Structure 1
Amino acid sequence: MTETTEHVSASALRAARDVQVLFSRLRRRLRELYDTRELTPSQISVLTRLGKEGPASTSDLAAAERVRPQSMATNVAALDERGLVQRRPDPGDGRRLLISLTGAGREFFDDKQRAGEEWLARALQDRCTEEERQTIIQAMALLERLPPP
C-alpha cells in the first residue's frame, strides 16, 4: 500500500471511493437540471455559497473556494454584471465590501435548489423504501461528522 493508505482499513478506502463516485454522479446530474445562464462552475459555486451562507467579502469567498483573490474578483465582477450579486459596505468595517445576492441572484439560487431537491426527492421516493430512506438520512448524519478538507 502507499504511504497515505498504509494505516487505512480496506472498508474505509472502499467507503471513500464509493462516496466520491456517487457524489460526483449526483453533482453532474443536479447540474443538468437547471439553467446555468451560461455561468461557469466557479460562478455557480459562488452563488451557491452566498445563497447558503449569506454575504461575504471577496477575500472570504476566495479563501472558502480555495482560489486567488484576483480570480474571485473576476467571478464576482461577472456575476455583478449579470445583476446576480451586489456589493455593499461592511457595516463592521467600512473599508471592506460584502458581496450578497440580488433578487435575481436569490431567484437563481432558489430555483437551482428547488429543481435539485424535487428531482432527488422523487427519485428517492420512487426507488427506495421508507426504511432505505431512513438509512440514507442516518448515513448523511455520519458523513456530516467528517472534518472539512
Structure 2
Amino acid sequence: MVRAPDPAPAEAPDGISASAARAARDLRVVFSRLRRRIREVARDEDLTPSQVSALTLVGKHGAATASALASAEGVRPQSMAAILAALEQHGLIRRSPDPADGRRQLVALTESGRERIEDDRQVREEWLARALADRYTEDERRTLIEAFALLERLTRQ
C-alpha cells in the first residue's frame, strides 16, 4: 500500500526551503525506522543496545581503554565499566595491561567477539539485500542507488 505523502511543514526555519525541511524530516524518520528494523534482525537479544554499541566500537577502532570507550560513547566511566563487565562475561572482550601504562587496561575483542560482530553484520546485510530484492524493482533499486550517491554528500565535511 502506497502512503499519501505528508503535507509539508507549515513553516520552515528561516532561510530553509519547505522542501529541504520536509526532506530532512522524512529522511530522519525513515533512517530511524530502518535502523530500528535492522537492529531487530540481528541476534542481539542477549545484549543491550549499549553493549552492542560498545562491542561494535571496539571492533571498529581496536583495543582501547575503558575511559576512552566511555568518552566515545558519551557515557559515564561507571556505566562503561558495567557494559564491559557484561561483555566480558559473555566472552566477547578481554582486558589486558596497557603496554604503555601498566596501570591501565586495554579492552579488545576476543575471537568470539569478532565472530559475533561479523555474523551480525552479515545477517543484517542479507536481510536488507533480500528486502530490497523482494520489495523493489530493478529500476527502483537503481533509483535508490542514485539517491544514496546524493546522500553521500551529506556525510562529507
TM-score scaled by length of structure 1: 0.81
Give the aligned partner of residue 133 of structure 1: 141
Unmatched tracts of structure 1, length 5 or more: none
Segment drifting more, 15-24 vs 123-132: 123-132
Give the aligned partner of residue 91 of structure 2: 83
Runs of 4+ in 1 over 6 A off after TM superposition: none
Provide, for residues 64-111 of structure 1, a one-character-per-residue CA deviation record: whole Å limited to 9, x for no partner.
Answer: 211112211111111112211111233444443221111221122111
Change (3 A) 1:14 1:109: same
Q: The residue matched to 2:75 in structure 1 has which SS?
A: coil
Unmatched tracts of structure 2, length 5 or more: 1-8
Decide which of 23, 32, 47 is 2:31's aligned counterpart: 23
Percent identity of the aligned residues?
59
Segment drifting more, 17-26 vs 52-61: 52-61
TM-score scaled by length of structure 2: 0.77
By how many angstroms is 1:37 displaced? 4.3
- AA aligned to 1:118 is E
Q: Does 1:103 align with 2:127?
A: no
Change (3 A) 1:7 1:125: same
Taking the aligned partners of 1:124 and 1:7, their CA distance within structure 2 comes to: 36
Taking the aligned partners of 1:141 and 1:59, their CA distance within structure 2 comes to: 36
Q: Aligned ranges for residues 48-63 of structure 1 at < 5 Å?
A: 48-63=56-71
Matched residues, number: 146
- AA aligned to 1:126 is D
- AA aligned to 1:104 is S
- AA aligned to 1:63 is S
Rg comparison, structure with higher value:
2
Taking the aligned partners of 2:99 and 2:126, their CA distance within structure 1 comes to: 37
Q: The residue matched to 1:136 in structure 2 has which SS?
A: helix
By how many angstroms is 1:56 displaced? 2.1
Q: Does 1:11 align with 2:12?
A: no
